Structure 1
Amino acid sequence: MKSFDSGRAVPTLQQMGPQPVYQDDNARPHRAREVNDFLQQSGVNRMEWPACSPDLNPIENLWKLDRKVRSNHPPPRDVQHLYQMLQAEWQALPQRIFTTLVNSMSLTRCVECQNSQGGYTHY
């Protein structure tokens, strides 16, 4: 298993302010002992979140950014270039997209997800 890269995580967490909250999808790499120890030592709170729950995560609707960057010609030269291209696409998104995504997270959606107990929802 690849080692957890705290060299990249620390600056990102510091940009989030004094009490950052970490949300993940409960995938094994995100729950590794090394990651848990790092988050605890860094004073980062972990948000309780059900596994496999894209219905509760509005960012899932922005995967088209990845597809858009992958379709660029020429493709990214390296990871740094990919990061720059993704940042440029992110910055170009109109604010209304974010507002729409956040507003889509209604109480009805949350209740339906809870009632489905991890099963299918229409979202």
Structure 2
Amino acid sequence: MVHLCFNRTVRLLTLQNNNQEWLSANIPHFITKVEWPPSSPDLNPLDFSLWSILESRTCSKSHTNIESLKTSLRREWENIPQEMVRTAVAVVNQRLKSVIKQKGGYIE
């Protein structure tokens, strides 16, 4: 099974037509740029999973200045279990299929 890391650099590379053709031919279940919904929070693991965890942990106490907030954010980010991040990333493909099935509509 092929695992790809999706980031802005990869996304920019996949937007080029020759790369789209190669990826479509070589990656099972590759989703083309035409099929990929733009700016969907349903497809961003930070949006659909991790931000709410980080927010609840960080805001469990009040902060009197920006440095306190930044310190708390960094600490709580480091405390999010790696397995939780992996799980959020692992469901992106299924969520993408659901968004496509809903023709871009809300899926949760």
Map of 2:59 onto structure 1: 70
Number of equivalenced pairs:
74
* Structure 2 contact 42–106 (Cα < 8 Å) conserved: no
CA distance in 1, matches of 2:53, 2:100: 27
Map of 1:80 onto structure 2: 67
Percent identity of equivalent pairs: 30
Greater percentage in helix = 2
- Give the RMSD, CA atoms, in angstroms: 2.3
- Structure 1: any 5+ residue segments left out of the alignment? 1-19, 23-47
- Structure 2: any 5+ residue segments left out of the alignment? 1-6, 10-35
Displacement, 1:58?
A: 0.8
CA distance in 2, matches of 1:119, 1:21: 23
CA distance 1:50–1:119, shift in 2 (3 Å): same
CA distance 1:66–1:97, shift in 2 (3 Å): same
Runs of 4+ in 1 over 3 A off after TM superposition: none
- Secondary structure class of the residue paired with 1:76: coil
What is the CA deviation profile of residues 75-104 of structure 1, one whole-angstrom value per residue up to 9, with x for unaligned ones? Answer: 112112101101000111111111111111
Aligned-partner residue type, residue 93 of structure 1 = I
TM-score normalised by structure 1 residue count:
0.51
